[in-house]
Amino acid sequence: MISVVEQPSSDLAVGERGGPAQPLISVRGLVKHFPVKGTGFLKPKKVVRAVDGVDFDILKGETLGVVGESGCGKSTTARLLMQLMSANEGDILFDGEKVGGALPLADYRRQVQMVFQDSYASLNPRLTIEETIAFAPKVHGVPAQTAMARAHDLLHRVGLEPSRFAGRYPHELSGGQRQRVNIARALALEPRLVILDEAVSALDKSVEAQVLNLLLDLKRDFGLTYLFISHDLNVVRFMCERVMVMYLGKVAEIGSRYAIFEETRHPYSSALLASMPKMDPSERTLEPPLSGDPPNPIDPPPGCRFHTRCAFAEPVCSEKTPGLATVSAAHSAACLMSVPGSGHSRAPVMAEA
């Protein structure tokens, strides 16, 4: 069991202590490797490098978008942030306090909640939706009746009339309604950060728009911070102030929405953008921006992980692993073309010291 190791540094509530400029979450050197089954005994031990050295910040009150293809580690990052699994290496700082160190895990848990992609699998089929929402507050010692009243209030807030829906079971609801319940459940502990892991991806487009509007309303009303994971760049562009592009367990590029969508620096981000279907049949895509599938994260390519699919790849790309290089104040890219003096022919010349 978790016990409180240290007293909180001040009387301020968790998440308020560092002041508005302190990032809500700082992730430093996060690594998660999964052993591959069937290896390691008489065979060389293999690991899936799901998350392989990731650093990023989530600022207070922002929506940080995470985009990338399957195997890029975005869902693993979410589960690590949620502490549903433990990282091999790296630290998570919540408002400047180390999670599991200065900030006990139990206190952190109340501050961070998650909405999953599969609206059905994330609801217990045997509980009514009011019971589902009231569960977490009850666990934290809220009296049953108060917890139930809070559940009804939240149902109302997410657009489900409590008198009609509170006593229903998940299989009696539509996908959009279930996802509203999941959102209400995530808000029941009054968290600061909500992780939305492909939360709208399984919904029909017209329902998706309704839920996105709801998320924006809730963010404003409850002062939330979102980590918004999605494969749909259009949705990310609409929802997020900052965007992080991931590729094979590493951050490829991170920056403001404008920087990522208008001043793209990483060739992978450009390819991802160019892969979105065009809405105008007269401007159809003629050439696929990338060929082949994303490589397997078990044996990622050496050097820059994207060099096997990159149109600008040079020999140096398979030798040097690019770190996140600052492009502008709010924009970094992990590409040798953005690192001065990296040896890539397109790299900017080294600035005079």
| Interacting positions 80-99 with another protein (CB under 8 A) | 82-84
Q: Which of 145, 262, 351, 353 is close enough to bind another protein by CB under 8 A?
A: 145
What amino acid is encoded at 348 in this protein? P
Tell me which residues in 164-183 interact with another protein (CB under 8 A).
164-169, 171-172, 174-176, 182
Tell me which residues in 260-279 interact with another protein (CB under 8 A).
271-272, 275-279
Q: How many residues bind to another protein according to rule CB under 8 A?
A: 91
Tell me which residues in 289-318 interact with another protein (CB under 8 A).
289-294, 296
**Interface with another protein by CB under 8 A: which range of 28-36, 49-57, 118-126, 317-325?**
118-126
Closest CA to 245 of 76, 70, 67, 73: 67
Scored b (16 or more CB within 10 A) or e, 299-330 reads: ebeebbbbbbbbeebbebbeebebebbebeee
Tell me which residues in 190-209 interact with another protein (CB under 8 A).
204-207, 209
Burial of 175 (0-12, 13-18, 19+ CB in 10 A): middle
Pick between residue 55 and residue 270 the one whose CB is nearest to another protein: 270
**Least distance from C-beta 340 to another protein, angstroms?**
29
Tell me which residues in 224-263 interact with another protein (CB under 8 A).
231-235, 237-238
Q: Which of 47, 59, 102, 189 is close enough to bind another protein by CB under 8 A?
A: 189
Structural tokens at position 231: 């494969």
Q: What is the bridge-based pairing of β-strands 63-67 and 242-247?
A: parallel
Q: With contact defined as beta carbons under 8 Å apart, do 316 and 336 qualify?
A: yes
Tell me which residues in 15-54 interact with another protein (CB under 8 A).
none
The DSSP output letter for 84 is S
